[in-house]
């Protein structure tokens, strides 16, 4: 019998992260949902779904170490990490401040490093682990006005391939998922005329759904996913065939 697994999903209480947390719980995995900001929404998520929530900024190295230690103290050793937390600070380079650049790199890419430093060694020692990093179509294809976001997400894909080589012989897989445009609050905030142009470029003719990304994560973290490592799964409706 397979032992119950413990997972941390960063940014795990809203949007794609919420869908991932729920999908892993449905698999019988004990989930810790990390969040950084809205306490009220996080507590409502915890109450509604019986999933523990833990607050820390994944871009803060020490906070990650302490946060993951708190999860392990409460729930047990962490077997699965889904690095989903991310922010945007969009703007063309001419108007992008260093803080806009640095904040996105610190959270989106730095968060992957910080979470790996906190959990990867334990996975190696125990001989089993799963890391899934959420990249982006814009990290593969680029996007106007997103040099920070595209660079960070592209970096995630390289980080994934390199770390996968360190874990492969130890039973630890490291993969990425690159979502296209998904029907979340972030995308809903895009002006209707802009959103229509985006959808027109998606061959399947619609936005993706958060649960579709979650199903990809569910496979990669499963017992059956052990032969997949260093891979990027593109879930974008055919918008970018990479």
pLDDT band at residue 209 under the 50/70/90 scheme: very high
The pair of three-digit structure tokens given for residue 72, joined into one six-digit string: 């392990």
Mean pLDDT for all residues in the chain: 93
pLDDT band at 140 (very low <50, low <70, confident <90, very high): confident
pLDDT of residue 187: 81
pLDDT score recorded for residue 3:
64
Q: What is the mean pLDDT of residues 52-61?
A: 98
> Is the whole model's pTM more than 0.85, yes or no?
yes
Q: Is the pLDDT of residue 58 over 80?
A: yes
Residues belonging to the active site = 149
For residue 1, pLDDT over 50 is answered with no
**pLDDT tens-digit readout, 67-115:** 999 999 999 999 999 999 998 788 899 999 999 999 999 999 999 999 9
Instruction: Report the pLDDT value the prediction gives residue 180, as an integer from 0 to 100.
Output: 84
Contact 135, 232 (CB under 8 A): yes
- Work out the average pLDDT over 34-59: 96
Strand locations in 3-159 (E): 6-9, 30-35, 52-55, 80-83, 129-134
Whole-number Å distance between alpha carbons of 110 and 144: 22
Predicted confidence (pLDDT) per residue in 150-205, tens digit:
999 999 999 999 999 999 999 999 999 998 889 988 788 888 888 899 899 999 99
Nearest 5°: the CA angle 109, 139, 54 is 35
The stretch 212-227 carries a mean pLDDT of 97
Is residue 201 within 8 Å of residue 166, measured between CB atoms?
no
């Amino acid at each position: 019998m397979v032992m119950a697994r413990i997972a941390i999903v960063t940014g795990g209480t809203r949007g794609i992260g919420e869908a991932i947390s729920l999908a892993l719980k449905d698999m019988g995995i004990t989930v810790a949902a990390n969040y950084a900001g809205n306490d009220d929404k996080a507590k409502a998520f915890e109450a509604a779904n019986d999933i523990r929530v833990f607050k820390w900024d994944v871009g803060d190295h020490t906070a990650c170490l302490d946060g993951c230690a708190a999860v392990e103290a409460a729930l047990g050793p962490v077997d699965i990490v889904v690095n989903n937390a991310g922010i945007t600070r969009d703007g063309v380079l001419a108007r992008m401040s260093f803080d806009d650049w640095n904040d996105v790199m610190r959270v989106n890419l730095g968060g992957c490093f910080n979470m790996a430093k906190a959990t990867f060694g334990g996975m190696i020692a125990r001989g089993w682990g799963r890391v899934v990093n959420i990249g982006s179509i814009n990290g593969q294809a680029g996007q106007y006005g997103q040099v920070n976001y595209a660079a960070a997400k592209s970096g995630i894909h390289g980080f994934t391939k390199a770390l996968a080589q360190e874990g492969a012989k130890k039973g630890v897989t490291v993969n990425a998922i690159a979502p296209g445009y998904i029907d979340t609050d972030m995308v809903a905030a895009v002006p209707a005329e802009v959103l229509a142009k985006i959808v027109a470029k998606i061959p399947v003719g619609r936005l993706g759904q958060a649960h579709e990304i979650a199903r990809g994560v569910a496979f990669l973290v499963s017992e059956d996913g052990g032969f997949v490592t260093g891979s990027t799964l593109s879930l974008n409706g055919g918008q970018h065939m990479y």
